[in-house]
Amino acid sequence: MTEIAVAFDVESLERAIELDRALGEGREYAKVGLELFTAAGPDAVRALRARGRRVFLDLKLHDIPNTVERAAAAAARLGAELLTVHAAGGKEMIRAAARGARSAGTSVRVVAVTLLTSLDEESLPPGFERPFQLHQTLADLLLMTESAGAHGIVCAAPDLPGIRERHPAPFFAVTPGIRPSGSPVQDQRRVATVAEAVRLGSSLLVLGRSVTAARDPRAALEAARAECRFR
């Protein structure tokens, strides 16, 4: 079953609570990312959990293994259920994150960001081979990620077909860059609609601005839920 996370990309705890109210009750994860965590810190996680939300802590950790292990343990103690790290941090770092995540005796799952969905061949930084072998790079990152003990990956939905062949569920595939049909792509590059991402085997759809910037976020979320159910 595909689930939904709403990206709480807002500037303060107050705005996060307002957004949560606007969305109404639901099973969706609240994704706390760099903006909200930098502004409001662990209080944002605590407040959203107190309001009944499961929290996806999207901190995209990328540091030396010891630091990442300790940060992952802190995330687990906070009660986050999902935590992101960058696959580019390497096998030892991912292994350390998984160890830290387990150390608090809770069930925080570590998912590794493969390639940002905002990157395409033109915008890739130096250091990547040209022409860029996207599928090979993804396959290599995935093998490393899985063998290091991560629970899954974050990837673009259009990359899922190749991935799901070798890494079926329950290996967790989180897909940002989801847009309802016809809505603007903004700074994302490799996007998909809700129905496409579900069909391709996404475990968790990340919906950001298409819900949070909608005139009626609750209606936008409900439309996405319906598209998820009746794909």
Instruction: Give the separation between CA 200 and CA 99, rounded to whole angstroms.
Output: 30
Q: With contacts defined by CB under 6 A, name the span among 15-23, 74-82, 88-96, 113-121 that binds ligand C5P.
A: 113-121
Long-range Cβ pairs for the range 88-94 (8 Å, 24+): 88/62, 88/141, 89/61, 89/62, 89/63, 90/144, 91/144, 91/147, 91/148, 92/65, 92/148, 93/61, 93/62, 93/63, 93/64, 93/65, 93/68, 94/144, 94/145, 94/148, 94/149, 94/150
Which two three-digit tokens encode residue 113? 């960001």
Q: Is 63 one of the annotated active-site residues of the chain?
A: yes
- 60 catalytic? Reply is yes
Q: Considering the complex, what minimum distance in angstroms separates the CB of residue 225 from ligand C5P?
A: 16
Q: How far is 62 from 165, CA to CA, in rounded Å?
A: 28
The stretch near ligand C5P (CB under 6 A) out of 66-74, 160-168, 192-200, 203-211 is 203-211
Nearer to ligand C5P, 33 or 79 (CB): 33
Q: Is residue 177 at the binding interface for ligand C5P, with CB under 6 A as the rule? A: yes
Torsion of CA 97, 201, 52, 38, to 10 degrees: 50
Residue found by looking up tokens 């570590």 in the block: 110
Distance of closest approach, residue 166 Cβ to ligand C5P, in angstroms: 20
- Indicate whether 158 belongs to the interface with ligand C5P (CB under 6 A): no
Strands 152-154 and 3-7: unpaired
- Tokens 């319906």 found at: 226
Please identify, using beta-carbon distances, which residue of 33 and 65 lies nearer to ligand C5P. Answer: 33
Counting contacts by CB under 6 A, is residue 33 touching ligand C5P?
A: yes
65 is in an annotated binding site: yes
Q: Total residues at the site for ligand C5P (CB under 6 A)?
A: 17
Cα 138 from Cα 159, distance rounded (Å): 8
| Segment interacting with ligand C5P (CB under 6 A) among 18-26, 47-55, 137-145, 206-214 | 206-214
Cβ 105 to ligand C5P, closest distance in Å? 27
Q: Does 198 sit near ligand C5P (CB under 6 A)?
A: no
Residues in the chain: 231
Show binding-site residues for substrate.
Answer: 9, 31, 58-67, 117, 179, 188, 208-209
Active site residue ranges: 58, 60, 63
Contact positions vs ligand C5P (CB under 6 A): 7, 9, 33, 58, 113, 116-117, 154, 176-177, 186, 188, 206-210
